[in-house]
Structure 1
Amino acid sequence: MTAQSSIKPRALDADPSAALHELVLKSLDDDQAVETVTIPLAGKSSIADHMVIASGRSTRQVASMAAKLVDRIKAETGRAARIEGLPTADWVLIDAGDVIVHLFRPEVRSFYNLERMWNFGDAPAPVAEV
């Protein structure tokens, strides 16, 4: 048996969008994101299949979650995610292709209220805290 044949296929090979979404949620959970919400966009918008919104308790936590998430996406998929807002870390946007991630400080999140803006008549699916 060669080393190549003993490697298990990565989860991203089966359904890249769902696997990327799971990777994002796991990373945010590992970094203790608060009030993580997923809004399904497949069939409703062409920008992505999933939008994930989460909060951090401080700008330092938001920046750390964002940096780690971008690194994990690169390590797992080989693709670089685009990131905006990292210097101030009040609102950080990560465009990972099929998944768009918004990370906020709580005050900024409540001001912009993206969940309400992107609600297509369906309530956003909250992600259970583990």
Structure 2
Amino acid sequence: MRESVESQPGVLVQTVLRCLEDAKVEEIVCIDLNGKTALADTMIIATGRSNTHVGAAAERVMKALKELGVVAPRVEGLSNCDWVLVDAGDAIVHLFRPEVRQFYNLEKMWGQDRPGAGQAG
């Protein structure tokens, strides 16, 4: 009998992180939300190079979640792919194009600095 995702702490997050790495997204940040909100336990933020890249990465994450047994993750933003949100229950995934991520700066909102922010390139 297969265990549920809920009985395997960290499996959901590790699956999403592996998908994002396989999709070659950039600047993956994982934020622990425990004690900050009841929305989810983890927020994962990543950057795709283009609308097409963001959409493909989101599709890859949704397929992996389905294979993991997550029932119908909610998805917003697939029509434009500037910012796609995948709500997998205990983990919320935000996939952005670079300029959209910089504009919204969710890391700052949730108390974590964005990698590379403020550094000269």
Whether the TM-score (by the shorter chain) exceeds 0.5 is yes
Contact 1:56 1:106 in 2 (8 A): yes
Counterpart position of 2:77: 85
Pair 19,46 (structure 1): closer, same or farther in 2 beyond 3 Å = same
Offset of residue 12 of structure 1: 3.4
Pair 58,125 (structure 1): closer, same or farther in 2 beyond 3 Å = closer
Counterpart position of 1:67: 59
Pair 29,52 (structure 1): closer, same or farther in 2 beyond 3 Å = same
Once residues 113 and 53 of structure 1 are traced to their aligned partners in structure 2, the CA distance between those partners, rounded to angstroms, is 10
Once residues 101 and 114 of structure 2 are traced to their aligned partners in structure 1, the CA distance between those partners, rounded to angstroms, is 17
Opposite residue 86 of structure 2, the aligned amino acid is I
Say if 2:106 is the partner of 1:114: yes
Offset of residue 68 of structure 1: 1.2
Q: TM-score, normalised by structure 1?
A: 0.81
**Consecutive unaligned residues in structure 1, runs of 5 or more:** none
Contact 1:93 1:101 in 2 (8 A): yes
Counterpart position of 2:118: none
Once residues 125 and 38 of structure 1 are traced to their aligned partners in structure 2, the CA distance between those partners, rounded to angstroms, is 11
The structure with the largest alpha-carbon Rg is 1
**Consecutive unaligned residues in structure 2, runs of 5 or more:** 116-121
Once residues 13 and 47 of structure 1 are traced to their aligned partners in structure 2, the CA distance between those partners, rounded to angstroms, is 15
Matches within 5 A, 1:94-109: 94-109=86-101
Match of 1:44 among 27, 36, 45: 36
Contact 1:11 1:19 in 2 (8 A): no
Contact 1:95 1:101 in 2 (8 A): yes
Contact 1:39 1:124 in 2 (8 A): no
Pair 114,13 (structure 1): closer, same or farther in 2 beyond 3 Å = closer
